[in-house]
A = this chain, B = another copy of it.
Amino acid sequence: MTERSRFSFTISATDGAARTGVISMKRGDIRTPAFMPVGTAATVKAMKPVDVRAAGADIILGNTYHLMLRPGAERVARLGGLHRFMGWGRPILTDSGGYQVMSLSELTKRTEEGVAFASHLDGSRHLITPERSIEIQRLLGSDIVMAFDELVPTTSTRDEQAAAMERSMRWARRSRDAFLAGGKHAEAAAQFGIQQGALDEGLRKASADALIDIGFDGYAVGGLAVGEGQEAMFGCLDFAPGQLPADRPRYLMGVGKPDDIVGAVERGIDMFDCVLPTRSGRTGQAFTADGPINLKNARFAEDQEPLDPSCACQVCTTWSRAYIHHLIRAGEILGAMLMTEHNINFYQQLMAGLRAAIEEGRLAAFAGDFRRRYRKEA
């Protein structure tokens, strides 16, 4: 058996700006475009890893911010790393903590050094710097390590956006240096830089050039899906991916709704992550080819159809909307389990459909069919 490569990205077909291919890593292949279920606190909420895999996921995401606070990165390392800890042997991408530290923690103080903050769990004080973020991701045993960056709202002034982007690029350099100093981990893992610059084409270009100058295995489009709306996001994606190297994976962080993903794939994005399928599963929203439906609704009380009549997942071939409506109304854990499993299957089936459509040069027809049928609001 030949040893698997650290990181390679092979594009097998393109269709317009869209591409399909395979990222090959030590722990397995990642078919792109890929959707990464979010395993926040070392668990894809309400799902066993074996069912996440059975749905078709090649890679999951872990959150540096959550894991550094509980159970702690050093503890995970002592327990053999995140893969062994949670029972998922395939690739894991870890974010840098930059997004959550600004959105979840309190009393944050940003300096050139990094971000000081108080834990949302117990108020304990922490400092996260580019170097500490990379160290945490190494302790977790991450396969794809994200650079530590700074976020500002897309509604900030251009000067604020420029300053945050420039600091993020300095932090990207420090993140890269810290990663490459990581010894054995750096020989087995990959690292992605994160493009910033809000919705401004010039700032995005400057950010891309700075990252390319540093040199990463892949590149993320950061700072989107933060409330700017789909039209503005697509507007940015009309130029941002093209500023990044064509031969490297492009990852759109924190996106998104099914229709967001279809539009982003058409614009050249290869990787996605989002809590939507898991979180929605716990609040009663199921994704279907006709759009999202809320299973709490009384109209499903005697509906014998599966969640999505066009879905082949185990949930849809076993249980009715009426049963899942009952479980959710009764507050049963199984309701969250079945909804989450279906939603993750829905997302993975969507990605498989997109990959096949690109491979066969019929993405426009696939996306058109999808949009004609999919109602964005339940």
Contacts and interface: CB of A to CB of B under 8 A. Distances in A.
A370 interface: no
Given A326-B71, A330-B41, A320 B79 contact: yes
A333 B332 contact: no
Interface in A70-111: 70-71, 75, 78-80, 85-87
A190 to B, nearest CB: 26
Interface string A281-321: 01000000000000000000110100000000000001110
B75 A323 contact: no
A280 to B, nearest CB: 14
B332 A43 contact: yes
Interface in A46-72: 46-48, 70-71
Contacts of A327: 42-43
Interface in A307-356: 318-320, 322-323, 326-327, 329-330, 332-334, 336-338
Nearest to A42: B326
Nearest to A86: B323
Contacts of A45: 332-334
A41 to B, nearest CB: 5
Contacts of A70: 326, 329-330
Given A322-B85, A326-B42, A71 B334 contact: no
Nearest to A51: B48
Contacts of A71: 301, 322, 326, 329
A43 B334 contact: yes
Contacts of A329: 70-71
The main secondary structure of chain A at its interface with chain B is loop
A83 to B, nearest CB: 12
Interface centre among A301, A304, A337 (most CB of B within 10 A): A337
A304 B258 CA distance: 39
Nearest to A303: B79
B333 A337 contact: yes
A333 B330 contact: no
Contact of A337 (B46, B87, B302): B46
Nearest to A43: B334
A148 to B, nearest CB: 24
A43 B41 CA distance: 26
Contacts of A323: 42, 79, 85-87
A45 B46 CA distance: 13
Interface in A223-241: none
Contacts of A79: 302, 304, 320, 322-323
Contacts of A48: 334, 337-338
A334 B47 contact: yes
A41 B332 contact: yes
A72 to B, nearest CB: 9
Contacts of A302: 75, 78-79
Instruction: From A42, A78, A80, A338, name the one whose CB has the most chain B CB atoms within 10 angstroms.
Output: A42
Contact of A87 (B75, B86, B301, B318): B318
Q: 7 tightest CB-CB pairs across the interface, nearest first?
A: A46-B333, A43-B334, A71-B326, A87-B318, A41-B330, A43-B332, A79-B322
